[in-house]
């Protein structure tokens, strides 16, 4: 069997450059196309800091999908771009691996319908790092014993969406794992937003600072004790084994898959 032909959208972004490098370094994958709004016309290999590849970054996704004939499209772009990109990818009958966050429940329902109607497979994964997936899993387990929990997510100051996709997914898994509903103490907010955002009774707090990459703490409180589960992505390499695995598996995973854990555990 030949290598899987992959096209990356957002190829000159922080994640896209890392994904280009990971694909080029895997003998079972072939980078056939790169799309972005930045560095258009430049060689994707040079942007990713590797040998020249002669895969040039283009702006026109529809044209690239036709010309490059990928089998799988990987998207690490922006919340405002992802649905439009997915419409084009699914219309071209190509499988997609989506790392872009900021998708709403309605967006996920729409993708599910599009997958159903087209026979295309899509993975939407809020986090590709194995440590983050384990953090979420452990948090869901702890939720059976600790109804009181708050989530603090910390990211670099370029991040466009808050709260992070990972914190939303964590809250969803905790809510599904709880025996009793969460009962967040609100008190009186002397400063609006001081107690963070709220999902099903769980408080979510977003920190944005230069120097950070991607971090999250899930703090449970019980009688006379707390339990803190923390994950830190110290570099974007942390996401790459998960992205590569997803590219290899998406072809045999029908419909919409929400969360890489569905392919792992």
Ligand X SMILES: NC(=O)C1=CN([C@@H]2O[C@H](COP(=O)(O)OP(=O)(O)OC[C@H]3O[C@@H](n4cnc5c(N)ncnc54)[C@H](OP(=O)(O)O)[C@@H]3O)[C@@H](O)[C@H]2O)C=CC1
In the complex with ligand X, which residue's Cβ is closer, 81 or 107? 81
The question of whether 159 is a catalytic residue gets the answer: yes
Cα of 45 vs its chain's centroid, Å: 23
Tokens 């449970």, located at residue: 220
In the complex with ligand X, which residue's Cβ is closer, 12 or 71? 12
Question: What is the C-alpha to C-alpha distance for residues 42 and 240, in angstroms, rounded to an integer?
Answer: 23
- Among 148, 155, 215, 249, the one annotated catalytic: 155
175: partner contacted, choices ligand X, ligand LZUJQKHR, none (Cβ within 5-8 A by kind): none
Shortest reach from residue 178's CB to ligand X, in Å: 25
Contacts of 205 (CB under 8 A, 6+ apart): 150, 151, 152, 153, 196, 197
DSSP H or E run through 135: helix 130-142
Interface residues with ligand X (CB under 6 A)?
9-10, 12-16, 35-38, 76-79, 81, 85, 99-102, 125-128, 239
Residues 195-254 that bind ligand LZUJQKHR (CB under 6 A): 214
Q: Are 145 and 214 in contact (CB under 8 A)?
A: no
The question of whether 155 is a catalytic residue gets the answer: yes
Q: Reduce the DSSP state of residue 261 to 3 states and report it.
A: helix
Q: Reduce the DSSP state of residue 84 to 3 states and report it.
A: helix
Binding-site residues for NADP(+) = 37
155: partner contacted, choices ligand LZUJQKHR, ligand X, none (Cβ within 5-8 A by kind): ligand LZUJQKHR
Active-site residue list: 155, 159
């Amino acid at each position: 069997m030949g290598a899987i032909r992959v096209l990356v959208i957002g190829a000159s972004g922080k994640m896209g450059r890392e994904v280009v490098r990971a694909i080029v370094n895997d003998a079972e994958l072939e980078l056939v196309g790169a799309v972005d709004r930045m560095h258009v016309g430049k060689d994707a290999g040079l942007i990713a800091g590797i040998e020249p590849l002669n895969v040039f970054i283009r702006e026109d996704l529809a044209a690239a999908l036709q010309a490059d004939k990928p089998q799988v499209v990987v998207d690490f772009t922006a919340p405002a771009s992802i649905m439009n990109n997915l419409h084009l990818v699914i219309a071209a009958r190509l499988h997609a691996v989506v790392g872009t966050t900021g998708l709403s429940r309605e967006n996920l329902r729409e993708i599910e319908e599009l997958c159903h109607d087209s026979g295309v497979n899509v993975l939407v994964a809020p986090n590709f790092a194995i440590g983050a997936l384990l953090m979420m899993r452990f948090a869901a387990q702890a939720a059976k014993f600790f109804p009181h929990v708050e989530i603090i997510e910390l990211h670099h100051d370029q991040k466009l969406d808050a709260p992070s996709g990972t914190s939303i997914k964590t809250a969803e898994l905790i809510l599904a794992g709880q025996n009793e509903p969460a009962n967040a103490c609100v008190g009186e907010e002397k400063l609006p937003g001081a107690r963070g955002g709220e999902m099903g009774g769980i408080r979510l707090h977003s920190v944005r600072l230069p120097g950070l990459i991607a971090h999250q703490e899930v703090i449970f409180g019980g009688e006379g004790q707390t339990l803190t589960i923390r994950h830190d992505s110290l570099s974007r390499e942390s996401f790459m084994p998960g992205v590569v695995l997803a590219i290899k598996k998406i072809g045999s995973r029908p419909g919409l898959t929400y969360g890489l854990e569905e392919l792992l555990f």
